[in-house]
Structure 1
Amino acid sequence: MTRIDLHSHSSVSDGTDTPAEVVDQAVAAGLDVLALTDHDTVGGIEEAAEHLPPGLTLVPGMELSCAHAGSSVHLVSYLFDPEDPELLAELRRVRSDRASRAREMVGKLQAHGVDVAWERVLEIAGAGKDEYADANTIGRPHLARAVVEAGAAHDVQDAFDRWIGSGGPAYVSRYAIDPVRAVELVRGAGGVCSLAHPGRAEGALNGAVPLDLVERMAEAGLGGIEADHPSHKPREARFWRGIAGDLGVVVTGSSDDHGALSGRRLGRCTTAPEAFERLVAPATGASLLQR
């Protein structure tokens, strides 16, 4: 049976493995189709494509950062034109704000006596000295790893809980795209998208993406809902499968692998071949990559 994982991250954003290493991990996990979906960038796609072995299909993609009413909403997006002017402008704004936010958070950490250097955060993120122009995205997991190195937290999760999570003493909000607008941007760039881990929306009152918002996203062209995700309990997965059916969108399943940070779990949750075919059928912005 074809095994398809539509959500993974590399060191280009907040994963620990290079794009080439992610490909190697996909082969080891027995995957047939892999989507590389780094946060707000396609900067790792070229390296991953160059490293593709025969038999593995790469889906170019990214996880687009969105926000609604103060809570985070993530959109895994595929096969769009990365040079589409409107989408590209938004991505540049998102990445620039990520860098500005991280620098401000470093300042807050330092004010609280945490010995974190901005230069070290850039090193962990794999970003160049001009962090605002670099294709790599700088995120809180990079900052969390620096906090752990500084001895101010036991592990990455503790760094979030103690310092940089929502409401923490070093937390700073950032710019993110409205989710309905994000769906429209991806569709306008010839891409397709699925709502990522809808049961886990940071800042939401009940921890989940509001249903009225999901309905509006579906009306705007949302193609799928990532019901099968490692963070979802079985009852949550069933619930979101039902919502996908009610809205007429496909059910996707993905590992959301971040390398060592998530235990290298590629293939833990997968998407059915027929769902994948239906999801990508409308895409016109880019092509599946194979050797």
Structure 2
Amino acid sequence: MPVFIGPIDLHTHSSVSDGTETPAQLMRSAAAAGMGTVALTDHDSTAGWSEAAGVVAETGVALIPGMELSTRVQFASVHMLAYLVDPTEAALLAETERIRAGRLSRAEEIVRRIARDYDLTWDDVLAQTTPDATVGRPHIADALVARGLATDRSAAFAGILHWRAGYYQPHYAPDPLTGVRLIRGAGGVPVLAHPGTRGAESVIPVQRLKALVDAGLFGLEIDHRENTPDARERLHVLARRFDLVVTGSSDYHGEGKPNRFGEHTTDPAVLERIVAEATGATPVMP
């Protein structure tokens, strides 16, 4: 078993999805912030793993290869952190390709709707992406900022990209139970991402959580800036009841969000349990 040096941050995004730094830049930023271990968890993609792994020796920061898998319950997004999956496993690969295609067509439709009322084009959005990036609403937000239609990403999401503005369009994603099974089928370890952002009343119902645990859910990301205090209390109760590990993470996006490395961290013993559970991939150590 590798020995992991803290601080440990198990949720970060690079320019492969909606972060603003390349995977290598992200690892260097993690080192500059004093991190010992980080997980790269881009949305529905493992494309950044190789680049991030290539600078592990340089940075001295251990890498946990991961992904944030999109799932959905009706119109509500439910994100699943997938640690140490086999990136070549056929079923997971096919599903992530389908999700990314859905994200792309959804983004195009949102831009078409916005363009009826604002000076925004699809080329404006593409100018904010990198090759092979998982295109999403954050890239539209960046295009709105570049066009002077919003002051920053947060303002874009609070304004034009808010669902009440009338431009919102959902994208395809499997249900959470399918997501857990896909991750486990690829030898990975599933942890429910920031499950308390809408308060204790909206925390996952017990019977639904039990079904996910029975399918292989391994943990809850409780220590996250977007989880409300009352939701965290409720989630800790559920974690004890179902013997789930508790993780903490920054959800770092570079300059795309105010989240900073290490603002929440994971206990090394918890990461050791996650690594021991995985069979799809292995950590990359300095």
Q: 2:147 aligns with which of 150, 153, 162?
A: 150
Number of equivalences:
281
TM-score, structure 1 as length reference: 0.91
Equivalent position of 1:161 in the other structure: 158
Q: How does 1:1-291 map onto structure 2 within 5 Å?
A: 2-52=6-56, 53=58, 55-112=60-117, 114-127=118-131, 134=132, 136-200=133-197, 206-263=201-258, 265-291=260-286
1:213 Cα offset (Å): 2.4
1:125 and 1:11 map into 2 onto residues whose CA distance is 8
Of residues 226-235 and 12-21 in structure 1, the stretch that sits farther from structure 2 once superposed is 226-235
Q: Residue deviations 1:98-147, cap 9 Å, x none?
A: 111111111001112x11121221121213xxxxxx3x100101101111
Amino acid at match of 2:68: E
Contact 2:275 2:282 in 1 (8 A): no
**Cα offset, 1:206, TM superposition:** 4.9
Structure 2 counterpart of 1:74, which letter?
Answer: H
AA matched with 1:88:
L
User: For residue 131 of structure 1, what is the aligned residue in structure 2?
Assistant: none
Within 2, Cα distance between the matches of 1:120 and 1:208? 37
* Shift in alpha-carbon separation, 1:48–1:257, aligned structure 2, 3 A: same
CA deviation map 1:154-180 (0-9, x unaligned): 322222222223343211111011101
The 1-side partners of 2:229 and 2:87 are apart by 35
Please, what TM-score do these two structures have when normalized by structure 2? 0.93
* Partner SS for 2:163: coil
Query: Given residue 279 of structure 1, which amino acid in structure 2 is its aligned partner?
Result: I
| 1-structure distance, mates of 2:147, 2:201 | 33
Q: Deviations over 1:221-257 (max 9, x none)?
A: 0111001001224443232122111111100111001
Change over 3 Å in CA distance of 1:276–1:121 after alignment to 2:
same
Contact persistence 1:161–1:168 (CA under 8 A):
no
Which is further off, 69-78 or 211-220? 211-220
Which structure 1 segments of 5+ residues have no match?
128-133
Distance 1:122 1:210, change over 3 A: farther
Cα contact 1:163–1:171 (8 A) shared by 2 = no
User: Unmatched 5+ residue regions in structure 2?
Assistant: none
Contact residue 200 and residue 231 of structure 2 kept, 8 A: no
Runs of 4+ in 1 over 6 A off after TM superposition: none
> Percent identity, aligned pairs only?
44
Question: Are residues 210 and 60 of structure 1, via their aligned partners in 2, closer, same or farther at CA, if it must alter by over 3 Å?
Answer: same
Q: Give distance in 1, aligned partners of 2:215 and 2:259.
A: 34
**Matches of 2:201 and 2:180, distance apart in 1:** 23
Residue type at the aligned position of 1:66: T
SS of corresponding position for 1:6? strand
Asked whether the 8 Å contact 1:4–1:272 carries over to 2, the reply is yes
- What one-letter code is carried by the residue in structure 2 that aligns with 1:94? I
Aligned partner letter, 2:175: D
Distance (Å, rounded) in 2 between the aligned partners of 1:178 and 1:6: 23
Q: Matched residues in 1 for 2:146 and 2:42: separation?
A: 24
Code of the residue aligned with 1:271 in structure 2: it is T
**CA distance in structure 2 between the aligned counterparts of 1:207 and 1:111, rounded to whole angstroms:** 35
Change (3 A) 1:93 1:119: same
